[in-house]
Amino acid sequence: MKIQEFDNVWDAVCDTPIEAENLKLRSKLMRDLSAVIADSGINQVQAAELMGVTQPRISDLVRGKIDLFSLDALVNMAASAGRRVVMELEDAV
């Protein structure tokens, strides 16, 4: 029996490549925003104020609740925190 291998966990668990790509982008943004919070040494209340959301929303972010965040929401949080999201479009492998 041949075992199927994947380059990314999202490729393994998603039904379509489109869904996997969206989740890859959201998870990257969530990790990056969580790192911004951790690196700045602020608490969740301060992070919420900085990013224009509530403290429970920050809690969901740092706990990785990816199903609760859209790309738009994450980009807005980044912009509110004075960060810019940079993207590249590449050919699919």
Q: What is the pLDDT of residues 9-65, one digit of tens each?
A: 666 676 787 788 899 999 999 999 999 999 999 999 999 999 999 999 999 999 999
**For residue 58, what is the domain's CATH number?**
1.10.260.40
Token code pair at residue 22: 């969206």
- Give 88's contacts (C-beta < 8 A, 6+ positions apart): none
The number of folded domains in the chain is: 1
Token code pair at residue 44: 């969740």
Q: What is the pTM of this model?
A: 0.85
* Sign of the alpha-carbon dihedral angle for 13, 15, 17, 19: negative
Report how far residue 25's alpha carbon sits from residue 3's, in angstroms, rounded to the nearest whole number. 26
Report how far residue 82's alpha carbon sits from residue 57's, in angstroms, rounded to the nearest whole number. 18
Q: What is the pLDDT of residues 53-66, one digit of tens each?
A: 999 999 999 999 99
Q: Is residue 69 situated within a structural domain?
A: yes
Q: Is residue 85 situated within a structural domain?
A: no
Report how far residue 84's alpha carbon sits from residue 64's, in angstroms, rounded to the nearest whole number. 21
Q: Is residue 32 situated within a structural domain?
A: yes
Q: Is residue 67 situated within a structural domain?
A: yes
Range of the domain at 62: 14-80
